[in-house]
Structure 1
Amino acid sequence: MATVDTKTGQSVDRTVLDSMLRRRMFYTPSFEIYGGVSGLYDYGPPGCALLANMTDLWRKHFVLEEDMLELDCTMLTPEEVFKTSGHVEKFADWMCKDPKTGEIFRADHLVEEVLEARLKGDKEARGQKVEVDEEKEAKKKRKAKASKAVKLDDALVQEYEEVLAQIDNYGGPELEQLIAKYDIRNPTTEGNLLPPVAFNLMFQTSIGPSSNMPGYLRPETAQGQFLNFQKLLEFNQQGMPFASASIGKSFRNEISPRAGLLRVREFLMAEIEHFVDPEGGKKHPRFADVKDVELSLLDRNVQLSGSTDTVQMTVGKAVETGLVDNETLGYFLVRIQSFLLKLGIDQSKLRFRQHMANEMAHYATDCWDAELKTSYGWIECVGCADRSAYDLTVHKNKTGAPLVVRETRPEPLRIEEWQVDIDKKKFGPRFKKDSKSVEAAVEALSQELREKLSLDLDKNGKIEVEVEGIATPTIELDKDLIKIEKRTRVENIREYTPNVIEPSFGIGRILYSMIEHVYWSREGDEARGVLSFPPAIAPTKVLLVPLSTHASFKPLTQDLTSKLRRLGISTRVDDSSASIGKRYARNDELGTPFGITVDFQSVKDSSITLRDRDSTKQVRASEDEILQALKSIVDGDETWEDVRKRLPEFTGQEVE
């Protein structure tokens, strides 16, 4: 698939880009010499450096700037934790199977793939221009029968487009109906498919030699943060609101991994859990700083209407109108956008899409995804969910742990309420083994019911209470056993369960999408690919290029290498016999933003040239001036244009 780079107007050929990334070892299929395993990849030296620089920038942008508390939690999790959180029952995708071939498809992806192929065939039949799909031959064959040039009825075209706009909102029953309605089959064999069934995405394992403790590899880093909430609150000296953060590997047993790094079974996540008081309207103290920032928003109502049109709106207006639920959620949408733009993401290929009701995770009350446009379409890279108080509540109820905030009220709160007194000396002998169940049922009575029962008790001298789980579910209680009175209670301490706003980053997805956004080729030479990584995240910041293998250059390059490393600037030396232009071209593919050329003039007066990757322009100055300029650019204090304005331009050395 080819997409257009908005910076150069060039078409980005994914096949060429993928080949370059693998050739330069940004990443490579795991276990390749054994045939590989789909959905598993290894990162090579430039890929590792790029990941490390991205996560370092993430920490500075969020953990440092927002004063977050970072955790590193275990990836192995007992089954009981995920049963409580709901993941064992609900963390699933829908899959359907071809009973004859045994081939398995993820149902929503299959519907999406087939309908898109039919729409493409319709465009071809109408003589309209379509994008050329250059994916692997296997996928070409899969789509071959589904994408024949067949003209569709206009109403059916609109129907397909509406289905695709809502594809993330469909559950199993709806997908089954769509598969039947549009006669969707195995694209390769045209065989019928079995109805979709839920497939849990977690990898199951056992903990310990006796295998009597079932567990899972975590599908997210969040649960460890929730389970440590009370300790984090104490560490933060009971201060609210606050946020925790975690970066680590997560695992999902994807039904049909595809699209390279975009859908894998092991991946790096960076997650934030921002704990906030629900009574304060989930306001954020720094919201005023970002309220005028514009976001590209695609809300759920637009999607349900069958459209994918976005609206540009300030986050202040989005919160004010209720489109974005609260200030804290809106604040993090802006911070997410800011982080992505720092990485080099093209803002015209970034949107925030709101989850539809059926699509939202079981714990969420509202969620927006930061989606990035790539040659694979719009890809979800960051989720920002309001998890309400779900996680802390379920873990508190299961374990009895005090996952709550207790704070002294500024003014004592006087509460009038109906209180129940039980005569426990008589209660036990009367109900024996059922006494605890009866007592719990009485304590659980609502204020409205307590008021009514108080009147009944005064009038009749006895009341009846329903108790679940015992042989006689209706229990009679008389005045000797129970008293119900209205009293005033003074509350000096407020206890509440915080709500949670969770930004969750798929680092691998962001990495690949960002690479597509910064990739281009030199005009007139499509084979010369360039990755325009921002200096802060580039795997190598500087390439040192001696003019030749002359012995006088070696001490200079060694000295420069040492000085750059002491400044924290990663560097490589290319002293091969290739021309300077070829040596720079090789490193343009690796995204190296700057090059230093050492020549005979350098030996005489210690001056060196600094070359900019994107413009290929050069400046020449003293060694100290060039090193100071590099440090300033890498730290974000200056840009190349700033440096170019204050240092003399150099045109004497031909490097292209």
Structure 2
Amino acid sequence: MPPIASFDRGKLEDLLKQKFFYDQAFSIYGGVQGLYDYGPMGCAMKANLLAAWRQHFVLEDQLLEVDCSMLTPAPVLQASGHVERFTDFMVKDVETGECFRADHLVKANLEAKLKHKKTSEQEKEELQRLLLQLDNFGGDELNSLIRKYGMRSPATNNELSEPQQFNLMFATMIGPTGQCQGYLRPETAQGIFVNFQRLLQFNQGRIPFGAAQIGSAFRNEISPRSGLIRVREFAMAEIEYFVDPTDKQHPKFDRVKDVEMTIYSACSQMDGLPAKRMTIGEAVAQGIVANQTLGYFMARIHMFLVLIGVDPNRLRFRQHLSNEMAHYACDCWDAECQTSYGWIECVGCADRSCYDLTQHAKATGTRLVAEKRLPEPRLTKVCECIPNKQAIGKAFRADAKSITNRLAALTLTDAISVKEDLTTKGSTQLVIGDKEYKIDPCMVHIKEYETNVQVEEIVPNVIEPSFGIGRLLYTVFEHSFRVREGDEQRT
């Protein structure tokens, strides 16, 4: 469905500012793009929304709520992949220096050309193909399209620079020395992942379980616009639900299996087919939604959005295409709401597999695993690396503790690899973060044996519903806004 042409967005925005639901931050100083302050009415609505969220999710599913630091040391986000991959391509107006997000600019130009009356059917087919592939394009492809179609700055009509990558995180220094680099968190999720051991212990070692967090996140958007839709500081509410990777059934799925929703699968998008109405039970049974746990949270998200005032006729769940999947996800569905800006993503529901726990375990040498009881004891080969703390301390001093912890936490495969290196090469290389250490035979003793085990270690998979609070508030504002016919001066 196209954006709603008859909706008067200007009247809504005037009302929201007049009644101080929200307004641009620091406005008496000219304001800053992408920063907003909530007034008394906006704060009340936001508080009500978050109270409903806690009731609907945290209490219903007995989630463990945490409140983690917004300042995040650089190694955490290096391990999670955000330092390397949390980027967008940016182009600049060569005269004024004004910046634009390259893929958004290209998309707007291609869509405008697609709608133009003089565009031939053959050209339309090519434009539609490009739009479908746009999320998979790198800098060179985007630059080629900008030059091919003569795209210019939308503000001044000046020429544009070549696209360059721009990291969206706000960098900062922690402490007065400037030696501890950090970032304002781009998502709340990492605070939950690094506390996984404590949360598992709190839950008495049992999975599945979920953790929840409400808090602010920060993204240094290249060209924030559309009010609360694309901002640089925003409230999030996230759930990380840890499950056995071999068993993603959900005990309460039967309660939601008959919830009907609009499903827009990746296959339908690629084939040019419209979204379909179906129950979540049908979607899981047909393999459109991968598993019951993912389906359970999609249904609960749908129920919550309708509860807070989102129009169910303007709500759909769209599956990410493979070329737009986040670096940490193996499947992802967005709850999208139709507004005057078009379809906007308000909630993401991703299967992050075991990506984050695996990455943090590699970076720190910490065993981020859960134990699963076996139906009967199993004879298992064990290979342990027992550190010689004295030799390691003498050789590496300040780094000795992290080295001994890493050696003690090696998996069976890694421990065997260390043994082979020590036997054939006389030493092995141990990588921790961005440092590499040479380990000699005198620093570690390899112990191999077989034992009967009654539990096995697993790295849990994670299902993550992630809510953008500002986008939900704006959607509720727009879906609830009415103008009395014949009395347009009142709302």
Q: Output the TM-score relative to the length of structure 2.
A: 0.85
More off after superposition, 367-376 vs 397-406: 397-406
Say if 2:68 is the partner of 1:73.
Answer: yes
For residue 83 of structure 1, report the CA deviation from its aligned partner: 1.0
**Closer, same or farther: CA 465–445 of 1 in aligned 2, 3 Å:** farther
Q: Which residue of 2 aligns with 1:373?
A: 338
C-alpha distance in 1, partners of 2:412/2:371? 26
- Counterpart of 1:12? 7
Secondary structure, in 3 states, of the residue corresponding to 1:100? coil
8 Å Cα contact 1:374-1:513 kept in structure 2: yes
Identity between Structure 1 and Structure 2 (%): 53
Q: 1:177 to 1:288 in 2, by over 3 A?
A: farther
The one-letter code matched in structure 2 to 1:374 is T
**Residue deviations 1:491-539 (CA, integer Å, cap 9, x gap):** 222211111000000000011011111111122222221xxxxxxxxxx
Greater mean deviation of Cα atoms: 247-256 or 405-414? 405-414
Q: Where does residue 393 of structure 1 map in the other structure? A: 358
Question: Per-residue deviation at 1:178?
Answer: 2.6
Q: Structure 2 vs 1, CA of residues 154 and 171 (structure 1 numbering), >3 Å: closer, same or farther?
A: same
**Structure 1 residues 466, 168: CA separation in 2 closer, same or farther (over 3 Å shift)?**
farther
- The 1:491–1:24 alpha-carbon spacing in structure 2 relative to 1, beyond 3 Å, is same
Q: C-alpha displacement at 1:317, in angstroms? A: 2.2
User: Which secondary structure does the structure 1 equivalent of 2:465 belong to?
Assistant: strand
**Residues 152, 468 of structure 1: alpha-carbon distance in 2 compared, 3 angstrom cutoff:** farther
Residue of structure 2 in register with 1:363 after alignment: 328
- Mark the CA change 1:421 to 1:51 in structure 2 (over 3 Å): closer, same or farther: closer
Match of residue 504, structure 1, among 460, 466, 477: 466
Shift of 1:438: 13
| 1:343-373 Cα distance to aligned partner (Å, 9 max, x none) | 1111111111111222111111111111111
Flag the 1:153–1:362 CA change in 2: closer, same or farther, 3 A.
same
Q: Aligned match of 1:341 in 303, 306, 310?
A: 306
The answer to whether 1:115 aligns with 2:77 is: no
Match of residue 41, structure 2, among 31, 42, 46:
46
Bigger mean CA deviation after superposition, 291-300 or 31-40: 291-300
Structure 2: how far apart are the matches of 1:343 and 1:75? 27
The residue identity in structure 2 corresponding to 1:498 is P
Q: Is 1:231–2:226 an aligned residue pair?
A: no
CA contact (8 A) 1:12 1:519 kept: no
Deviation at 1:176, TM superposition (A): 2.8
Structure 2 counterpart of 1:288, from 238, 242, 254: 254
Separation in 1 of the partners of 2:373 and 2:98?
Answer: 61
Match of 1:384 in 2: 349
1:103 aligns with 2:98: yes
Conservation of the 8 A alpha-carbon contact between 1:438 and 1:467: no
**SS of match in other structure, 1:12:** coil
Q: 2:55 aligns with which of 54, 57, 60?
A: 60
Q: Are residues 104 and 483 of structure 1, via their aligned partners in 2, closer, same or farther at CA, if it must alter by over 3 Å?
A: closer
Structure 2 match to 1:132: none
Mapping 1:398-437, distance limit 5 Å: 398-415=363-380
- Which amino acid is 1:496 matched to? I
Q: For residues 414 and 75 of structure 1, do their structure 2 counterparts lie closer, same or farther at Cα, with a shift above 3 Å needed?
A: same
Cα distance change on mapping 1:482 and 1:164 into 2, 3 Å: closer
Secondary structure, in 3 states, of the residue corresponding to 1:528?
coil
- TM-aligned CA deviation for residue 187 of structure 1: 2.9
The match for 1:94 is 89
* In 1, Cα distance between equivalents of 2:41 and 2:230: 21
Corresponding position: 1:156 with 2:123: yes
Residues 409 and 104 of structure 1: is their aligned pair in 2 closer, same or farther, counting only changes over 3 Å? same
| Among candidates 173, 196, 219, match of residue 206 of structure 1 | 173
Whole-Å Cα distance in 2 between the matches of residues 507 and 227 of structure 1?
24
CA deviation profile, 1:287-330 (whole Å, cap 9, x unmatched)? 1111222221222233334x362122222222222221111111
Greater C-alpha radius of gyration: 1
- What is residue 486 of structure 2 aligned with on the other side? 524
User: What are structure 2's unaligned runs of at least 5 residues?
Assistant: 397-403, 431-440
Gaps spanning 5+ residues in structure 1: where? 6-10, 126-150, 454-462, 471-476, 530-656
Cα gap change, 1:101 to 1:404, in 2 (>3 Å) = same
Highest RCO, 1 vs 2 (Cα 8 Å, sep ≥ 6): 2
DSSP 3-state at the match of 2:33:
coil
In 1: Cα distance, 2:229 partner to 2:275 partner = 23
| RMSD of equivalent CA atoms | 3.2
Q: Secondary structure at the match of 1:274?
A: strand
5 Å matches for 1:273-352? 273-280=240-247, 282-305=248-271, 307=272, 309-352=274-317
Cα distance change of structure 1 residues 207 and 318 upon mapping to structure 2, 3 Å threshold? same
In the alignment, the residues of structure 2 paired with residue 423 and residue 78 of structure 1 have an alpha-carbon distance, to the nearest angstrom, of 30
Shift of 1:400: 2.4
Q: Which amino acid aligns with 1:303?
A: Q
CA contact (8 A) 1:93 1:200 kept: yes
> In 2, Cα distance between the equivalents of 1:59 and 1:508?
16
In structure 2, what is the equivalent of residue 629 of structure 1? Answer: none
Shift in alpha-carbon separation, 1:94–1:3, aligned structure 2, 3 A? closer
- Structure 1 residues 365, 438: CA separation in 2 closer, same or farther (over 3 Å shift)? closer
User: How many matched pairs?
Assistant: 460
3-state SS of 1:46 partner: helix
What amino acid maps onto 2:309 in structure 1?
A: G
Q: 1:203 to 1:421 in 2, by over 3 A?
A: closer
Q: Does 1:187 align with 2:182?
A: no
Q: How big is each residue's C-alpha offset from its partner over 1:205-249, in whole Å with a ceiling of 9 and x where there is no partner?
A: 111122221111111110111111111111112221110000011
Alignment of 1:404-483 (within 5 A): 404-415=369-380, 444=414
More displaced 10-residue stretch of structure 1: 185-194 or 516-525: 185-194
Whole-Å Cα distance in 1 between the matches of residues 179 and 447 of structure 2?
Answer: 48
Q: What is the distance in 1 between the residues matched to 2:207 and 2:412?
A: 35
Q: Is the CA contact (8 Å cut-off) linking 1:441 and 1:467 kept in structure 2? A: no
Tell me by how many angstroms 1:48 deviates. 0.5
Change (3 A) 1:227 1:522: same
Whether contact under 8 Å (1:261, 1:509) holds in the other structure is yes
Instruction: Give the Cα–Cα distance (whole angstroms) in 2 for the partners of residues 19 and 69 of structure 1.
Output: 40
Q: Which AA in structure 2 matches 1:35?
A: G
Q: Is the 8 A contact 1:3 1:13 kept in 2?
A: no
Are 2:383 and 2:415, in contact at CA under 8 Å, matched by a contact in 1? no
Return closer, same or farther for 1:178/1:317 CA change in 2, 3 Å cut-off: farther
Residues 108 and 308 (structure 1), Cα distance of their counterparts in 2 relative to 1, 3 Å cut? farther
The SS at the match of 1:279 is coil
